Amino acid sequence: MSAQLKVMVIDDEPIVGKRLGPALEKMGCQTETFVDPAAALGRLAECEFDVVVTDVRMDEVDGIGVLERVKALSKRTKVIMITGYATLEVAHEALAKGAFDFIAKPFKPEDLRQAVARAAEALGIQGPGAAASQA
Partner 1 sequence: MAIVIVSSAIESARRELAQSLAAKLGGVCASREQLVEQATLAGIPVGKLEVAVLKQSTPRERLARLKSRYLSFVTSALCDLASQHRNLVYHGRAGNLLLPGVSHVIRIRLLADNERQLQQTMAALNLDLDKAKDYQRRLKEDVARWVHFMHGTEVDSLNGYDLVLNLAHMSMESAAAAICSMAQLPDFNETPASVRALGDLCLAARARDLLGRDERTGDMDLGVSAQDGRVTVTYMPQQADEAPAISAVLASLQGAREVVCTMALTNLLWLSESFAPDSPDFAHVTELAQRWGAAVELMRLVPQDADDQPVCLASADELTAAGPCRPKEADPTGGIEDDVESKPSAVDGGLAATAERLISLGLFGGGRTLAGGGQEVVAAIKSAPRYSLVMVGDVFMSKGPAVRTRLSRDLAAYVTERITLPVMSKEDLQAKVVFGAKQFSRMALYTALVVVIYLVVFSFQWPIQEFLGSPGSLAMKVVATIAVVSFVPLVAYLFGNSTGLLFKWLRFE
Q: Which residues bind partner 1 (CB under 8 A)?
A: 11, 13, 15-16, 19-20, 22-23, 26, 68, 82-89, 91-93, 95-97, 102-110
Instruction: Output 110 or 121, the one with its CB closest to partner 1.
Output: 110
Peptide bond into 109 cis (omega under 30): no
Q: CA-CA distance, 133 to 27, in Å (whole number)?
A: 6
Q: How many CA atoms lie within 13 A of 133 on its CB side?
A: 26
Considering the complex, state which of residue 48 and residue 60 has its C-beta at the smaller distance from partner 1. Answer: 60
Minimum Å gap between C-beta 4 and partner 1 is 20
Residue 46 CB, nearest approach to partner 1 (Å): 26
Distance CA(34)–CA(127), nearest Å, equals: 24
CB of 16 to partner 1, least distance (A): 4
DSSP label at 104?
E
Would you say 78 and 53 are in contact if contact means Cβ atoms under 8 Å apart?
A: no
Please name which of 60, 20, 57 lies closest in space to residue 40, comparing C-alpha atoms.
60
Q: How far is the CB of 15 from partner 1 (least distance, A)?
A: 4
Closer residue to partner 1 (CB): 73 or 95: 95
CB atoms closer than 10 angstroms to residue 71: 16
Nearer to partner 1, 48 or 110 (CB): 110
Least separation in angstroms between residue 29's CB and partner 1 is: 14
45 versus 88: smaller Cβ distance to partner 1:
88
